[in-house]
Amino acid sequence: MKLTLRVWRQRAADADGAMSTYEVDGISADMSFLEMLDTLNEELILKGEDPVAFDHDCREGICGACSLVINGDAHGPERTTTCQLHMRSFADGDTIDVEPWRASAFPVVKDLVVDRSAFDRIIQAGGYVTAPTGAAPEAHATAVPKPDADFAFEHAECIGCGACVAACPNGAAMLFTSAKVNHLNVLPQGAPERETRVLDMVAQMDEEGFGGCTLAGECATACPKGIPLVSITGMNKEWLRATRKASRR
């Protein structure tokens, strides 16, 4: 198929950006969206032009590197990551807009590449269990009810791609942060740091300049791993509980 692409081009973080138009031809329906961009880049290199920069790595939907807003949707029209989006979701002759994640906490590095290190700092604030190597008890010393283990897993699936932030009208990181809080806080291993974890992670999230949550729900719709919107409610509950407990101390 033949497509018209309108791609955000921005040379560097401090440069101005603009949409540039490109034509690509000979695109197969079996190609992934990123393979389609590879095709464009091969042509650009041979023409002596700068290829389009975009983040990608595993190309199997798990590393969380790829991050494109396609026709206004984070990761495009299907509920998946950009790397797992295939060209069969588009029609011959389509015009496709390709932009980076847009959020003040995710500044553009170049073209479609953004800086998501704010997510790392939220995890550093408390998204862990303090369990130094060597100090672990026997794994079967503590049984974890299966529903709790499953709940933890469903939240632990977050790949940290940032689609939730890109989709949110406020640029909030509530779904990302709540996924980690819920994963660790439900487990007995995470219980001793339950309060400090949620308080510190939320404080860091605010400090990074992410917006507030108005429960618009766009985050959960865009999430390629299906982290549910109710995850945010769970984190709010944890936060309230922790705040009350802190005020009693």
Of the candidate spans 113-121, 164-172, 207-215, 235-243, the one that interacts with another protein by CB under 8 A turns out to be 113-121
Nearer to another protein, 169 or 188 (CB): 188
Decide: is 16 part of the binding site for another protein (CB under 8 A): no
Instruction: Give the three-state DSSP class for 30.
Output: coil
CA distance 169 to 165: 8
For residue 246, state whether it binds another protein (rule: CB under 8 A): no
Q: What share of the chain is helix, strand, coil (3-state, %, to 5)?
A: 40, 15, 45
Q: Would you count residue 1 as binding another protein (CB under 8 A)?
A: no
Choose between 32 and 231: whose C-beta lies nearer to another protein.
32
**Any idea what DSSP says for residue 187?**
S
Cβ contact 223:163 at 8 Å: yes
Interface residue with another protein among 139, 247, 248, 249 (CB under 8 A) is 139
DSSP summary character for residue 130: -
Instruction: Map the footprint of another protein across residues 59-88, applying CB under 8 A.
Output: 59-65, 78, 80, 84, 86, 88
Asked if 216 touches another protein (CB under 8 A), the answer is no
Distance, CA of 177 to CA of 37 (rounded, Å): 31
Stretch that binds another protein, among 93-101, 118-126, 209-217, 235-243 (CB under 8 A): 118-126
CB of 135 to another protein, least distance (A): 7
**Site stretch for another protein (CB under 8 A), options 92-100, 155-163, 167-175, 236-244:** 155-163
Does position 152 interact with another protein (CB under 8 A)? The reply is yes
Spell 183-218 as b/e; 16+ CB within 10 A means b: bbbbbeebeebbbebbbbbbebbeebebbebeeeeb
Q: Does 203 bind another protein (CB under 8 A)?
A: no
At closest approach, how far in Å is the CB of 247 from another protein? Answer: 25
**How many residues in the shown chain lie near another protein by CB under 8 A?**
77
Residues in the chain: 249
Contact call for residue 14 and another protein (CB under 8 A): no
Q: Which two tokens stand for residue 179?
A: 């996924």
Between CA 94 and CA 208 the distance in angstroms is 37
Rule CB under 8 A: say whether 156 interacts with another protein: yes
Q: Are 3 and 90 in contact (CB under 8 A)?
A: yes
